Amino acid sequence: MVVLLVPILVTHKQRRYALARILTFVAASALTLALVVSLALLIQGLPAHKDKPEELLRSASVLWVTNILVFALWYWKLDAGGPIGRDNAVGPIKSSFLFPQMARQPADTDWSPEFIDYLFVAFNTSTAFSPTDTAVLDRWAKVTTMLQSIISLSVLVVLAARAINVL
């Protein structure tokens, strides 16, 4: 990640946003792949009782938090053209998520979601296995939230439950 972080920061600082966006997608893809592989390896080791309960619980916690951060990054970067696309939008943004602020009457056309809004959606999706106050509108967002929920469910049910059971 450090190898990718340096070019992302350099290209962003040089205002080469398209290249920075591509590099960010590469980094997010690598993080997502690492998350899924780590989860698979931990689940694979469960029958052999390779990990101590404390290590398993710690690993489950790290995977759960990583799941939230990775998917918040995906939502933030993909929705409505990413942060630059939302900042440059004229009028209401074309978001794949219907945030409560967008449904206010009269509509607040100046409001645009920030990273914290996507982090909140990702946290709720990992905790409740669905978004709570934000409607998911587009298919890519629905598939992504389903994937996040499956990963979170696997972490919480399989790993954390096993660790707590052994404790």
Residues 6+ apart with CB under 8 A from 107: 92
Nearest-angstrom CA–CA distance, 127 and 64 = 9
Contact 60, 160 (CB under 8 A): yes
Q: What is the mean pLDDT of residues 133-161?
A: 92
Residue 81, domain extent = 51-166
Answer whether residue 162 is part of any domain: yes
Answer whether residue 7 is part of any domain: no
Question: How many domains does the chain fold into?
Answer: 1
Q: Tokens 């914290």 sit at which residue?
A: 116
Answer whether residue 155 is part of any domain: yes
Burial annotation 27-56 (CB, 10 A radius, 16+ → b, else e): bbeebbeebbeebeebeeeeeeeebeeeeb
Contact 122, 89 (CB under 8 A): no
Q: How confident is the model at residue 72 (pLDDT cuts 50, 70, 90)?
A: very high
Answer whether residue 44 is part of any domain: no
Answer whether residue 33 is part of any domain: no
Residue 138 structure tokens = 């587009």
The residues with which 135 forms a beta bridge, in sequence order, are 98
Q: What is the mean pLDDT of residues 22-46?
A: 93
Nearest-angstrom CA–CA distance, 138 and 135 = 10
Answer whether residue 38 is part of any domain: no
Answer whether residue 65 is part of any domain: yes
Does the pLDDT of residue 167 top 70, yes or no?
no
Q: What is the mean pLDDT of residues 94-111?
A: 87
The CATH number for 95's domain is: 1.10.287
Nearest-angstrom CA–CA distance, 144 and 129 = 12
For 9-30, how does the pLDDT look when each residue is reduced to its tens digit (9 = 90+)?
999 899 899 999 999 999 999 9
Answer whether residue 26 is part of any domain: no
